Amino acid sequence: MERTELLTQVANLYYEDNLTQAEIARRINISRSTVSRLLRKAREAGVVEITIHHLWKTAPEIERDLIARFHLRHAQVLVGRGRPYEEILCGLGALTARYIESTLVEGTIFGISWGSAVHSTVRALRPDQRLPITVVQMIGAVGMGNPQIDGPDLARLLANVYGGEYRYLHAPLIVDDAQVREMLLQEPSIRETLSLAHRADIALLGIGSLVPDVSSLLRAGYLDQEALDQLRAQGAVGDICARHYDAQGHVLDIELNHHIVGIELETLHSIERVIGVAGGEAKAEAILGALRGEHVNVLVTDDATAQKVLALDDGPDGKPLALRAAPTRER
């Protein structure tokens, strides 16, 4: 206890009162080298935690290109600068969090899915006020892998950040039998939660890929390599809320999609702000399908991925495919 109190005292004098190490040494009658050692020990013991807040730079020109081409409400594109994926994920979470903080209002119904990018966003939220919002889980619980990135934990964490309420979807994400799914959807608590999700004002979603290295469903144990290959053979390029779609964003009539307990992608089109957050070039094809299908109307990604998305969307004549036809609806 005495050691912890000494570490705390020295840390407060240095970090809070801005005294130099020499001034601290004179004040508590120890050597300057001892002060230096105690400050190091304070960090190692967790008495002091140092957080470096990056000033994440964005790419406005690419953002404008994405908004114009895919008729988005908003886009934020992180300048990646060759950072490792984990740092990119941190930056995407910070940008998404700032966007959410700028748009959230009292009484908002906030739908949430799951995944690493969604978790990074929720962890980055630093609101300057409490808001009575309701957070609703839009899909069943994964129940495998890291529970911190699963829907129930994320719904609770997000609600607690704002001092709001949360609603769990008491069901697994994927069931073995389509009839079991239909039975679950008739359960009053599940039906009520999904009804609330349908009325969401904002939805925060990850975008899943069929590339093995970044496939969340593969990591969670729902899919294996053979299943991924089969999905690709059926035309799938990505998933949102575990529902798989093709390169044009059309939701596929495949067995897996009939085993999902959660919101339908068509329902997302009636939600005012549907935020898709995903980065890494391996996800470019999945992001493009999500944009073409208008499953998200706000995109947060990194510059290398955004440029790949735009390049993939260009036809052989160099003209953007997304601009050859009028949009199917106003978002």
Summarize the confidence of residues 16-24 as an average pLDDT: 87
For 224-233, the pLDDT digits (tens) are 899 999 999 9
Is domain 60-323 in CATH 3.40.50.1360, yes or no? Answer: yes
Give me the DSSP letters along 160-221. HHHT-EEE---SBSB-S-HHHHHHHHTSHHHHHHHHHHHT-SEEEEE-EESSGGG-HHHHHT
Across 24-39, b (16+ Cβ under 10 Å) vs e yields bbeeeeeeeeebeebb
Binned at pLDDT 50, 70 and 90, residue 51 comes out as low
**This model's pTM is above 0.85:** no
For 261-300, the pLDDT digits (tens) are 999 999 999 999 999 999 999 999 999 999 999 999 999 9
Q: Percentage of the chain surpassing pLDDT 90?
A: 74
Q: Percentage of the chain surpassing pLDDT 70?
A: 92
How high is the pLDDT of residue 326? 39
CATH ID of 2-44, from 1.20.1070.10, 1.10.10.10, 3.30.365.10, 3.30.310.80: 1.10.10.10
Q: What is the mean pLDDT of the chain?
A: 90
Type of residue numbered 186: Q
Q: Which token pair is 103?
A: 């748009």
Type of residue numbered 137: Q
Using CA atoms, how far residue 125 sits from 59, 96, 189, in Å, is 22, 9, 29
pLDDT surpasses 60 at 324 = no
Domain boundaries, the chain: 2-44, 60-323
Beta bridge partners, 139, equal: 262
Binned at pLDDT 50, 70 and 90, residue 101 comes out as very high
Summarize the confidence of residues 194-200 as an average pLDDT: 97
Binned at pLDDT 50, 70 and 90, residue 330 comes out as very low
Is 134 in contact with 110 (CB distance < 8 Å)? yes
